[in-house]
Amino acid sequence: MKNFTYTRATSVKEAVQKATADNQAIFIAGGTNLIDRLKVFLDEPSQLIDISRLEMKRIERLSNGGLRIGALVSNTAVADNADVRRDYPILVRAILSGASQQIRNVATVGGNLLQRTRCPYYYDTAFPCNKRQPGQGCPAATGINRMHAILGASDQCVAVNPSDMNVALAALDAVVEVAGPKGQRQIPFIEFHRLPGNTPQRDTNLEPGELITSVILPPVSFAKSGVYLKLRDRTSYAFALVSVAAAVELAGDRIKNVRLAMGGLAHKPWRPTEAEKFLIGKPADSSTFQQAAEIALQQAKPLSHNAYKVELAKRAIRRALTVSSKGGGVV
Amino acid sequence: MEHGKKGRGKTSRRGFLGQALTVAGTAIAAPSLLNQSSNAKDNLETAEGNMKVTLNVNGKQQSLTIEPRVTLLDALRDRLGLVGSKKGCDHGQCGACTVLVDGERVYSCLALAVMQEDKEIVTIEGLAKGDTLHPLQTAFIENDGFQCGYCTPGQICASVALLDEIKRGCASVVTPDLTRPPQLAELSEAEIKERLSGNLCRCSAYNGIVAAVQQAAGQKAPSPLADLMLSEPEETLT
Ligand SMILES: Cc1cc2nc3c(=O)[nH]c(=O)nc-3n(C[C@H](O)[C@H](O)[C@H](O)COP(=O)(O)OP(=O)(O)OC[C@H]3O[C@@H](n4cnc5c(N)ncnc54)[C@H](O)[C@@H]3O)c2cc1C
Ligand code: SF4
Ligand code: FES
Ligand code: FES
C-alpha cells in the first residue's frame, strides 16, 4: 500500500470536518475491507481518519420497540446481543454466515454496509474496470461472470454487493443514520445502495464527508420467524452466490405478512416487492412459493456464465419461505 | 498522535526492508540489493512521516517508530521479532496470522499497528507460561494437529479464542437455537469445524485439530486414526 497520514478522530463532528476538508481522506473503522483494498492499490488515500474509537458502540432499545445499533458495533457484538437474537434472528444468521470469526470480531456495522464488491476484475488492477475508473470498460460483462449480477445491472457494471448483513437489513426495512457536513439525516435502507447505471463507481447514496453513525431496526413482530439461506461454493467462509432473507407471518394457513430480500444477484440487496405483494393473502404452500419465486426472478437477465443463478435463486426463495412459514430456525 | 521527528532514516530503512521481504515472499534477496533500494527509498519516506506507537504484546510494552501503513503482522514479525504469527495470504483469507487482541481473535494482516495502542495483544509466543504449554498447545501435540506447522500458530490462537467464545455464549451459524448456544461439553464437531473455518491448513491436519479442540474442551477426543478407521467400511479393515 502507498503511505498515508493517520489521524484519530475524537468526535463525530471532528471526523466529518476532517473528511470534508480533505477529499483524498478516507475513514477506517475495522479496516478488514479497506486495508485489503489499500494493499492492492484500489484506494490510495492521502489520509486515514481512524473512527474506531468514537462513541458509536452501543445497541439501544427504542421507545417504539425497535433497536438502534451504533455504526461501530462489531459484527460479533451484534450477533451476540440478546435483544437482537430474540427479535431479529434473521440479522444474526446473516451476520454469522459471513466471513470468519476473526473478521466478524473486527468488522463493524458501518464498514459492512460499505464494503465494496468482490468482482475479481475490480480487484485486479491489471484489468480495466468502470468501478475503479469510469469510462475504462467492464471486462466482467463479457468475461468470466459466474459470480456476477442477474438483476438490475447495466452495461457499465455487472458487479454484486457482497454483504450478507445488507440483505437482512433490507428485509427488515432498516434505516441508516448519517452525519455529514450539512448535519444529520436518515436514509431508508433500500435507498442506501445504488444500482450501477452510468455511475458504477458509486455504490451508495452517501455524500462526500458523510459518516454512518447508526442503523435503526424498526419493530417487526414477525421478524422472529426470519431465516437466512446462503448458497456458496463451499459451506463456510465464502461469499454468497445467492442468498435469501425471508420472514413470513401467517394468519391460519394464509400469509398475512412477508419480507423477502436477496443477495448475490444485484449491485444492491434486492427486494422483490412484486413477489411480496403476490404472497399476501395466499395459502402458505409450495405452489404459492414457486409462483412468488417466478415473479421475483421475472426480470432476471443472466450473463454468459451465471444462468445457473436464476434457478438457484428460485429454489432458495422456495426453501427460505417454506422454513420461515414453519417458524424459522436453521435453513 | 505525535509524529516521530528523530531517527526517521533508520526506521524507514527497516520499514522498507520489511516491505521488500514481503514483496519477494522470501528472504533470498541479496542484502546489498536491499540496501541500495532502501537508500533510495529513505529520502522519499522522510517526507511522509513515521509515528511513535506503543504496543502491549504478550504483557510487554513495546515502543516502535513506524509508518502508519505497517500492519500488526509486519510489526510483530519484522520489528519485534515475533515470527510465530505467519504470513500466509496477507489478505484475511487463511488465518495463519491470527492473534488475540483484547481477548478476541483477529487477523493481524488486516489490522494496522498504529490502531492497536492500549490494546492487549497476545501471540502464539505468549500462550505458554514459561515451560508449561497452554492446554491447547499440548492438545495439538497429542492429537497431531499439524504437519508442516505453518498454519499451526494461527490454528492454536483461533482454538484458544474458540473455547473462550463458547464460555461467553457465542452462537455460530450452525447453532440450531440462537438462544441456547452450545456448552463446552456438548460442542459438536460441526460447531468446531464451522468456528475454525477461518483457518486453512494446506496439509489438511483438520482431523487432528478438531480432536485437539475436543480434548481441550473436556471431551473425549477420538484419535484421528480411530476416526478414520471407524468411517471405513469393514471389509477394508481386514
Ligand atoms: C476473506 C474475507 C471474507 C469475507 N466474507 C464475507 C462474507 O461472507 N459476507 C460478508 O458480508 N462480508 C464478508 N467479508 C467482508 C467483511 O464483512 C467486511 O470487510 C467488513 O464488514 C468491513 O467492516 P470494517 O469495519 O472492517 O470496514 P472498513 O474496512 O474499516 O471500512 C470499509 C469501508 O467503509 C468505510 N467506513 C467504515 N465505517 C464507516 C462509517 N461509520 N461511516 C462511513 N464510512 C465508513 C471505510 O471508509 C471503507 O471505505 C469478508 C472479508 C474478507 C477479508
Ligand atoms: S463488474 Fe463492475 S466492478 Fe467488475 S469489472 Fe465490471 S465495472 Fe468493474
Ligand atoms: S496472512 Fe492473515 S489471514 Fe492469511
Ligand atoms: S500444518 Fe501445514 S499448513 Fe497446516
Q: What is the C-alpha separation between B3 and B11, in angstroms, rounded?
A: 13
What local confidence, expressed as pLDDT, does residue B49 receive?
79
**Ligand 1 centre distance from Cα of residue A162 (Å):** 10
pLDDT given at position B32: 37
What average pLDDT score do residues B62-82 get? 97
**What number is the ipTM of this complex?**
0.97
Res B97 pLDDT > 90: yes
**DSSP structural state of residue B116:** G
**pLDDT score at B226:** 58
Residues of B in contact with A52 (CB under 8 A): 115
pLDDT bracket for residue B158 (50, 70, 90)? very high
Query: Would you call B105 an interface residue with chain A, using a CB distance cutoff of 8 Å?
Result: yes
Residue B225 has pLDDT above 80, yes or no: no
- Residue B48: what pLDDT? 54
Which of A103, A118, A236 for mutating ligand 1's site (highest number of atoms within 8 Å of CB)?
A103
Q: Are A7 and B1 in contact (CB under 8 A)?
A: yes
Determine how many CB atoms are found less than 10 A away from the CB of residue B8.
20
Phi, psi dihedrals of residue B112, rounded to the nearest 5°: -85, 135
CB within 8 Å of chain B, chain A residues 97-126: 97, 99-103, 105-106
B162 touches chain A (CB under 8 A): yes
Residue of B nearest to A47 (CA): B68
Atom of ligand 1 nearest to the CA of A112: 21
Using 50, 70 and 90 to split pLDDT, how confident is the model at B220?
A: confident
Query: Is there a contact between A329 and B177 if contact means CB atoms under 8 Å apart?
Result: yes
What does the pLDDT profile of chain A (331 residues) look like in tens digits?
Answer: 999 999 999 999 999 999 999 999 999 999 999 999 999 999 999 999 999 999 999 999 999 999 999 999 999 999 999 999 999 999 999 999 999 999 999 999 999 999 999 999 999 999 999 999 999 999 999 999 999 999 999 999 999 999 999 999 999 999 999 999 999 999 999 999 999 999 999 999 999 999 999 999 999 999 999 999 999 999 999 999 999 999 999 999 999 999 999 999 999 999 999 999 999 999 999 999 999 999 999 999 999 999 999 999 999 999 999 999 999 988 8
Give the model's pLDDT for residue A71: 98
Cβ contact A305:A146 at 8 Å: yes
A35 to chain B, any CB pair closer than 8 A? The answer is yes
Interface test with B, best of A101, A124, A165, A225 (most B CBs within 10 A): A101
Q: What pLDDT does residue B232 have?
A: 58
pLDDT of residue B221: 78
CB contact A47 to B (< 8 Å): no
- Flag if A101 and B158 touch (Cβ within 8 Å): yes
Chain A contact for B112, CB < 8 A?
yes
User: Where residue B7 falls among pLDDT bands split at 50, 70, 90?
Assistant: very low
Q: How far apart are CA A74 and CA A205, in angstroms?
A: 23
Model pTM score: 0.91
User: Which residue, B224, B172, B231, is CA-closest to B201?
Assistant: B224
User: Quick one: which atom of ligand 1 is closest to the CA of A71?
Assistant: 41
Higher pLDDT, B47 or A76: A76
CA–CA separation, A309 and B51 (whole Å): 49
B16 CB within 8 Å of a chain A CB: no
What atom in ligand 1 is closest to the CA of residue A99? Answer: 5
pLDDT greater than 60 at residue B41: no
Using the beta-carbon criterion (under 8 Å), do A236 and B106 form an inter-chain contact? no
* CA-A129 nearest atom, ligand 2: 8
**Nearest Cα residue to atom 3 of ligand 3:** B92
Q: What is the pLDDT of residues B8-38, one digit of tens each?
A: 333 343 333 344 333 333 333 333 333 334 4
Residue B16: what pLDDT? 38
Instruction: Compute the average pLDDT of residues B34-45.
Output: 39
CA distances from A323 to A79, A150, A229, A320 (A): 21, 25, 10, 5
Contacts of B193 in chain A (CB under 8 A): 236
Name which of B49, B161, B178 is nearest A85 (Cβ-Cβ). B178
pLDDT for residue B112: 98
**Cα distance from B106 to chain A (closest Cα, Å)?**
4
Beta-ladder partners of A242: A231
Closest-CA residue in chain A for B67? A3
CB A101 to CB B162 under 8 A? yes
Q: Is the dihedral of CA A287, A292, A295, A300 positive or negative?
A: negative
